[in-house]
């Protein structure tokens, strides 16, 4: 591959940006080699500065469920650009996106828009603390909720590559009130919440984890979590920044029939623009300023360009599109896992509909300890580079999730299946 332009642009980027990136995982440190500089995207394809095409399974970290430059979203944005870009006032566009969310997500009757998933989780926690007037928070090992200080303990995603599984620069005071527990461990959850019931404001969880690769929860664990948090008036926060509107319009909570008190959204609801949101029942949302005493604000919150891109995305996705995408992904994953078993290759895909991740073990995993036990960074690096050379762009880190969009074709998925099979057979699979 001739990467002359990409190399030159990346060298230039390194002069002015830390390691040439604005978010750590983009640096390819987890997979080796230099990041490609991307220039353009169209449907499922991403094109680098030298003009190479890649079928994109990173999809802006799960934000682009309709692929790149979807015509309906483009038209919506163009229409808004003619009217102006940012007003800092109420607009009809934000009401429409909020209406869509409220109509489809049963636990949400009021929404607040922010600019990132980090902000959504951070603000939901502040609201939970203000509402309960308690301080402690409970999270789960390997879950990532953005880079908010109080949550950067044993977090997944890029944080998992740091030595202490946490960040420098975070004071003890910030994490003193944070309890982190193993995912799917019901006894540990019950014991901790019973012991700390007067102090715990909220439990925050990815209802399907995607930041330690995909980990699907045990239903009994989720049901106990809902029951015990209700019993002790602890706010249950579902972080659906990654899962929200990915597999159905009702989100994971509808599919599982477990309703949280607050939900965080991001990624997909912004139609490819920066966004976050959180919402819940009126009773708790009323604690937010200006009606209540929990302060949270934003210059660009509810930006009309973002709102219209988000609304066009969700409106396009209705019904049949989810069914088709989920079925395509189920077929792909079943085929791959059957292949690994049949050929006795210690590789497994953990999946939740169009969210998938690869494990270097014979079976799926249920918590962060098992995730780390099955992890093989060097092997993932080789797989990543092989796929890249085959024109397939995966997330450049093992513990990230890869995504399929609603515009990926059967042909593109077949090409990925073929590349994966070739690699694990010729390069030794989970050696
Ligand atoms: N929560 C979850 C579940 C996420 O996956 C992410 C980002 N990957 C975040 C929060 C943070 O979102 P953002 O990067 O938009 O701040």
Q: How far is the CA of 344 from the centre of ligand 1 (A)?
A: 35
Q: Which of 63, 123, 125, 145 has most ligand 1 atoms within 8 Å of CB, for mutation? A: 145
Q: How far is the CA of 116 from the centre of ligand 1 (A)?
A: 7
Q: 147 and 117 in contact (C-beta within 8 Å)?
A: no
- CA–CA distance, 79 with 160 (Å, rounded to integer): 42
- CA–CA distance, 404 with 410 (Å, rounded to integer): 11
The answer for residues whose C-beta is within 8 angstroms of residue 283's C-beta and 6 or more apart is none
- What is the position in ligand 1's atom list of the atom closest to the CA of 211? 5
Q: What is the DSSP string of 109-159?
A: SEEEEESSHHHHHHHHHHHHHHHHT--EEEEETT----S-GGG-BS--GGG
Nearest CA to ligand 1 atom 12: 117
Q: Which of 116, 117, 242 has most ligand 1 atoms within 8 Å of CB, for mutation? A: 117
Among 225, 185, 169, 218, smallest CA distance to 202 is for 225
Q: 239: Cβ below 6 Å to ligand 1?
A: yes
- What is the position in ligand 1's atom list of the atom closest to the CA of 61? 8
Determine phi and psi for 280, rounding to 5 degrees: -175, -160
List residues bridging with 110 in a β-sheet: 280
Tally: H helices and E strands in the chain: 15, 14
Residue 431 confidence (pLDDT): 44
Q: How far is the CA of 298 from the centre of ligand 1 (A)?
A: 18
Q: Which of 26, 238, 267 has most ligand 1 atoms within 8 Å of CB, for mutation? A: 267
- CA–CA distance, 170 with 71 (Å, rounded to integer): 43
Q: 72 and 316 in contact (C-beta within 8 Å)?
A: yes
Q: How far is the CA of 149 from the centre of ligand 1 (A)?
A: 14
- What is the position in ligand 1's atom list of the atom closest to the CA of 276? 15
- What is the position in ligand 1's atom list of the atom closest to the CA of 206? 3
Q: 242: Cβ below 6 Å to ligand 1?
A: yes
Q: 144: Cβ below 6 Å to ligand 1?
A: yes
Among 113, 122, 183, smallest CA distance to 147 is for 122
The answer for residues whose C-beta is within 8 angstroms of residue 107's C-beta and 6 or more apart is 253, 259, 260, 261, 263, 280, 281
Residue 152 confidence (pLDDT): 85
- CA–CA distance, 275 with 303 (Å, rounded to integer): 9
The yes-or-no answer on residue 139 being catalytic is: no
Q: 117: Cβ below 6 Å to ligand 1?
A: yes
Name the DSSP class of 267: G
Residue 329 confidence (pLDDT): 98
Q: 241: Cβ below 6 Å to ligand 1?
A: yes
Instruction: Work out whether strand 235-239 and strand 402-403 pair parallel, antiparallel, or are unpaired.
Output: unpaired
pTM, 2 dp: 0.97
- CA–CA distance, 56 with 335 (Å, rounded to integer): 20
pLDDT (tens digit, 9 = 90+) per residue, 13-54? 999 999 999 999 999 999 999 999 999 999 999 999 999 999
Among 254, 266, 267, 262, smallest CA distance to 279 is for 262
Q: 207: Cβ below 6 Å to ligand 1?
A: no
Overall residue count recorded for the chain in this entry? 431
Q: Is 2 exposed, middle or buried (0-12, 13-18, 19+ CB in 10 A)?
A: exposed
Q: How far is the CA of 118 from the centre of ligand 1 (A)?
A: 6
Q: How far is the CA of 49 from the centre of ligand 1 (A)?
A: 27
Residue 99 confidence (pLDDT): 98
Q: 266: Cβ below 6 Å to ligand 1?
A: yes
Among 423, 408, 405, smallest CA distance to 358 is for 423
- CA–CA distance, 192 with 154 (Å, rounded to integer): 17
End-to-end alpha-carbon separation of the chain, Å?
27
Determine phi and psi for 143, rounding to 5 degrees: -80, 145
Out of 57, 144, 183, 393, pick the active-site residue.
144
Q: Which of 59, 121, 214 has most ligand 1 atoms within 8 Å of CB, for mutation? A: 121
Q: How far is the CA of 424 from the centre of ligand 1 (A)?
A: 31
Q: How far is the CA of 241 from the centre of ligand 1 (A)?
A: 6
Among 203, 212, 38, smallest CA distance to 137 is for 203
Determine phi and psi for 14, rounding to 5 degrees: -65, -20
Q: 56 and 409 in contact (C-beta within 8 Å)?
A: no
Q: How far is the CA of 184 from the centre of ligand 1 (A)?
A: 21
The yes-or-no answer on residue 335 being catalytic is: no
List residues bridging with 265 in a β-sheet: 277
Tens digit of each residue's pLDDT, the chain (431 residues): 899 999 999 999 999 999 999 999 999 999 999 999 999 999 999 999 999 999 999 999 999 999 999 999 999 999 999 999 999 999 999 999 999 999 999 999 999 999 999 999 999 999 999 999 999 999 999 999 999 999 887 777 777 776 666 788 888 888 899 999 999 999 999 999 999 999 999 999 999 999 999 999 999 999 999 999 999 999 999 999 999 999 999 999 999 999 999 999 999 999 999 999 999 999 999 999 999 999 999 999 999 999 999 999 999 997 799 999 999 999 999 999 999 999 999 999 999 999 999 999 999 999 999 999 999 999 999 999 999 999 999 999 999 999 999 999 999 999 999 999 999 988 655 44
Nearest CA to ligand 1 atom 1: 145
- Respond yes or no on whether the N-terminal peptide bond of residue 163 is cis (omega within 30° of 0): no
Among 215, 236, 225, 217, smallest CA distance to 187 is for 225
Out of 48, 185, 239, 350, pick the active-site residue.
239
Q: 303 and 289 in contact (C-beta within 8 Å)?
A: no
- What is the position in ligand 1's atom list of the atom closest to the CA of 62? 8
């Amino acid at each position: 591959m001739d990467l002359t332009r990409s190399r030159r642009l990346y060298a230039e980027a390194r002069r002015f940006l830390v390691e040439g990136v604005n978010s750590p995982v983009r640096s390819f440190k987890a997979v080796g080699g230099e990041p490609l500089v991307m220039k353009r995207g169209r449907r499922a394809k991403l094109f680098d500065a030298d003009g190479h095409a890649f079928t994109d399974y990173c999809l802006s970290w799960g934000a682009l469920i309709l692929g790149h430059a979807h015509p309906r979203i483009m038209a919506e944005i163009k229409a808004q650009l003619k009217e102006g870009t940012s007003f800092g006032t109420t607009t009809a566009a934000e009401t429409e996106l909020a209406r869509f969310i409220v109509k489809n997500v049963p636990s949400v009757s009021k929404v607040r828009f922010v600019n990132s998933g980090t902000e959504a989780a951070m603000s939901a926690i502040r609201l939970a603390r203000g509402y309960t007037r308690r301080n402690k928070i409970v999270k789960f090992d390997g879950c990532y909720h953005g880079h908010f200080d109080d949550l950067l303990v044993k977090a997944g995603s890029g944080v998992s590559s740091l030595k202490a599984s946490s960040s420098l620069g975070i004071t003890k005071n910030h994490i003193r009130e944070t309890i982190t527990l193993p995912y799917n461990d019901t006894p540990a959850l019950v014991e901790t919440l019973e012991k700390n019931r007067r102090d715990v404001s909220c439990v925050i969880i990815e209802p399907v984890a995607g930041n330690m690769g995909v980990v699907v929860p045990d239903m009994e664990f989720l049901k106990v979590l809902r029951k015990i948090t209700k019993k002790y008036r602890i706010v249950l926060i579902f972080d659906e920044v990654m899962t929200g509107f990915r597999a159905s319009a009702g989100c994971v909570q509808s599919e599982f029939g477990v309703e949280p008190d607050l939900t965080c959204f991001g990624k997909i609801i912004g139609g490819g623009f920066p966004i976050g949101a959180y919402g819940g029942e009126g009773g708790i949302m009323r604690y937010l300023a200006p009606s209540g005493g929990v302060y949270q604000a934003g210059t660009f919150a509810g930006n009309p360009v973002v709102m219209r891109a988000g609304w066009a995305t969700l409106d396009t996705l209705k019904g049949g599109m989810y069914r088709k995408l989920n079925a395509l992904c189920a077929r792909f994953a079943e085929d791959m896992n059957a292949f690994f078993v049949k050929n006795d290759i210690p590789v497994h895909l953990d999946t939740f509909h169009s969210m998938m991740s690869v494990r270097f073990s014979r079976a799926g995993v249920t918590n962060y300890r098992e995730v780390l036990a099955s992890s093989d960074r060097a092997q993932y690096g080789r797989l990543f580079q092989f796929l890249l050379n085959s024109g397939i762009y995966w997330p450049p880190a093992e513990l990230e999730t890869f995504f399929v969009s609603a515009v990926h074709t059967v042909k593109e998925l077949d090409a990925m299946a073929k590349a994966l099979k070739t690699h694990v057979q010729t390069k030794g699979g989970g050696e």
